[in-house]
Amino acid sequence: MGDRYWLWVGARLLAGVVIIAWALSYLGTGSGEKEFQKTLQAMKQVRSFRVASTSNPGMQHSETLWEVDCDHDLLHHQWHVVVTSSNPPTEMTRDEITVAGREYDRQSDGAWTSPKYASRGSGSAKWYCGTLAQGTDSNLLPQIATMIQRGIIQKGDKKTVNGVRCREWLVAMRGAPSGLEHDTVCLGLADHLPYEMTVDWEHAHATFSDYNTPIHIDVPEAALQSTSANDGSR
């Protein structure tokens, strides 16, 4: 009886150790945080990328495209939203390109115009890449720095996103209107860069692609003329 009792106790203790080790492997710094630190370092080297996202927060649906080319300081942003709370639903569309910090908006007739009070610098391609190079969240790519600081990171399964093998990570942190936000981020197995992200409370899904590859952006004629004029005045 005594031997059986101690064998039972030993088995329970061993099972407890296994469970604790498993939990630490998922939640501890040995797995998730270290992997996210690698991602933070990898994003510092990013010079171009594309982001395509959809979200359905509340009574609206939005689709967004970002194209970023830091070497040529080009930023392309397309945005389409449908507000379903009105009858009939209201649709809004925006298409803008920022060239060397100068914003150009596409009008309904297809022409490009530069707003009189368009912002310069902040929001440009170089600004976004400069922010990434400092290891700071850019709000275009996943907020990896914030997730490291505030998130509970859990290891998920491997998957393929747009032909790239990546591992999904589950991140829980405060930030949603109801309190706790649940995100997923799929990080490339080879380069540690993010390729997919979801945010539960926004019903949002984003994919990230074309890292450090040439991205073709049709620059408005007005921007080309402005650039030539600036070059000639130097």
Instruction: Count Cβ neighbours within 10 Å for each residue of 5-36 and write b for 16 or more, e otherwise.
Output: eeeeeeeeeeeeeeeeeeeeebeeeebbbebb
Q: Report pTM.
A: 0.80
Lowest mean pLDDT among 18-27, 155-164, 195-204: 18-27
Cα–Cα distances in angstroms (integers) from residue 153 to residues 26, 32, 122, in the given order: 7, 6, 31
Cis peptide before 88 (omega within 30 of 0): yes
Q: Where do we find the tokens 């569309």?
A: 93
95 CB-side CA count, 13 A: 12
Cα–Cα distances in angstroms (integers) from residue 45 to residues 38, 179, 199, 214, 229, in the given order: 12, 34, 25, 15, 32
In the chain the domains, ranked by start, together with CATH numbers, are: 45-229 (2.50.20.20)
- What's the pLDDT at 55? 96
Cα–Cα distances in angstroms (integers) from residue 149 to residues 131, 136, 146, 175, 177, in the given order: 17, 12, 5, 13, 20
The pLDDT of 2-26, averaged and rounded, is 49
- What's the pLDDT at 177? 67
pLDDT of residue 96 exceeding 50: yes
Backbone phi and psi for residue 219, each to the nearest 5 degrees, phi listed first: -80, 130
Work out the pLDDT band at 57, boundaries 50, 70, 90. confident
Six-digit token string for 167: 């591992």
Share of the chain above pLDDT 70, in %: 78
pLDDT of residue 69 exceeding 70: yes
Lowest mean pLDDT among 13-17, 35-39, 43-47, 197-201: 13-17
- What's the pLDDT at 225? 66
Rg (CA), the chain: 23
pLDDT of residue 141 exceeding 70: yes
